[in-house]
Amino acid sequence: MLYRAQFPRSVFEELDRLQRDMQQAFGFSPSIRGRIRGGFPAMNIGSTPTSVEIYLFLPGVDPKQIELNVEKGVLVVAGERRTERPTAEAAQSDTKAIVHIDERFSGRFRRVVTLPEDIDPDQIDARYRDGLLHICIQRRKPAEARQITIQ
């Protein structure tokens, strides 16, 4: 207890608190799954008067293995990503085998996006290039204004 009294506020504690405050202030809290920057895959969404553009950052995934579904105005992207890593046997036979940094996502993923109401589920175009999945969904043409005659 003497130690605590002598160092009522350690520098590290202060830094940690500051970091947490910053995260709260910017509206993102650390996930229980350990990723601050959102889930996998990361997603950007853009809007034009005629379409909704969705970009999913999915590096190193076989496009044939990506499941893409739209149902009742909800878009679901799911699949699995396997990353290459040293095998257990290699690690055992090679005593120098070490994992220094392990940050890349590995395993099954799933992301769900609620789409705007005016999209046309029959006009969806999805392309995969350079680890980026670009989904372009056309909006329905707005119904033309009609004059209604009062009988």
Residues in contact with another protein, total (CB under 8 A)? 45
Question: What residues from 41 to 100 belong to the interface with another protein (CB under 8 A)?
Answer: 41-49, 51, 53, 55, 57-61, 83-86, 90, 94-100
Q: Closest distance between another protein and the C-beta of residue 112, in Å? A: 13
- Residues 11-40 binding another protein (CB under 8 A) are 26-28, 37-38
Identify the bridge partners of residue 53 per DSSP, sorted by sequence position: 46, 136
Token pair listed for 110 = 């799933």
Nearest Cα residue to 118 out of 66, 51, 70, 64: 51
In the block, tokens 């996502």 appear at 105
63/61 Cα distance (integer angstroms): 6
103 belongs to the binding site for another protein (CB under 8 A)? yes
Nearer to another protein, 37 or 141 (CB): 37
Residues 6+ apart with CB under 8 A from 123: 137, 138
Residues at the site binding another protein, with contacts judged by CB under 8 A: 26-28, 37-38, 41-49, 51, 53, 55, 57-61, 83-86, 90, 94-105, 128, 130-132, 134, 136
